[in-house]
Chains A and B, each alone.
Chain A
Amino acid sequence: MALAIFDLDKTLIKGDSDFLWGKFLSEIGAVDADIYQSKNQYFFDQYVLGELDINEYLEFCLMPLSQYSMQTLNQWHQQFMSQKIEQILLPKAQAVVDMHKAKGDTVIVITATNRFVTVPIVARYGIEHLLATNPEIKEGQYTGKVEGEPCFQSGKINHLNKWLKETGENIKGASFYSDSYNDLPMLELIDYPIVVHGDDKLNALAIERGWKRLDWI
């Protein structure tokens, strides 16, 4: 059977989990709220414009992970799920995931957001496979650095290729669901590109190319 690949933020969920994690950290006082929120907003705007410097952003957003123990971070993540994520899960997205499973497809999420933030969200949708940016861990502690290449723009293709090699799967007949113009390299690679509540740039391109467009909100 085929692969069904989903972007996470603003595709499977009605919001950006990385941005919301930063907001959550500000609200509980784990970071300086004023400084962190204004930087978080700046990077988010850059992302929306398709002009994000991913390395600069990751340095910023992974830094708080290096300042707290794994136990504290996991406790916070549980709160984060109930306070920020549960409300933005999309039942229609869940239905499409379930339909792919019924079809016998292998379902994967591929996201630029780091693995610490995304693992529980992806598990909530009952999806087994996750390709994400990996925060480096040394001696049971996040270092604040990235391990390997960020899973962003063409980096998503490299992460996918590595996974295909490891699992022996192939992308023939695969579908990819995304909202973002940043995912254009992946959308162009896949047999069935599907735009889900796409940004303006991607919507215009989807109309031009006759790609399917969906709305799960």
Chain B
Amino acid sequence: MEVIDFGANKKRQAHCFFAGCVITWFRTLAQQSYISQQDLNHLYFVLLMEIEQILASIKEV
């Protein structure tokens, strides 16, 4: 099977898009009062740090 490499930029964009989707979902949970605003902030920063590490680990091929 041929492995397609989409390149570093596409990978970064995909991760950022995914993170945006997760954040939007967290926001919906906060709006529905399933989580507090403080929880939302905490989850945001956890995700931000994870994304930071993922983006840093993506190398140019």
Binding site for B on A (CB under 8 A): 1-2, 91-92, 95-96, 98-100, 102-104, 173, 175, 191-192, 212, 214-215
Within 8 A of A (CB), among B1-52: 9, 12, 16, 19-21, 23-24, 26-27, 37-38, 40-41, 44-45, 47-49, 51-52
In the assembly, what is the distance between CA of A104 and CA of B32, in Å?
Answer: 14
User: Least Cβ distance of A154 to chain B in Å?
Assistant: 25
* Neighbouring B residues of A103 by C-beta, 8 Å: 23-24, 26-27, 40, 44
Q: By DSSP majority rule, is chain B's interface helix, strand, loop, or mixed?
A: helix
With the chains together, A95 CA to B21 CA distance in Å? 12
Cβ of B16 and Cβ of A104 under 8 Å apart?
Answer: no
Q: Are B27 and A104 in contact (CB under 8 A)?
A: yes
Which residues in B have their C-beta under 8 angstroms from that of A215? 52, 56
Say yes or no: B27 contacts A91, CB within 8 Å.
no
Q: Which residues of A contact B41 (CB under 8 A)?
A: 2, 173, 175, 191-192
Q: Which residue of B lies closest to A172 (CB)?
A: B37
Contact, CB under 8 Å: A212 / B45: yes
Return chain B residues, CB-CB under 8 Å to A212: 45, 48-49
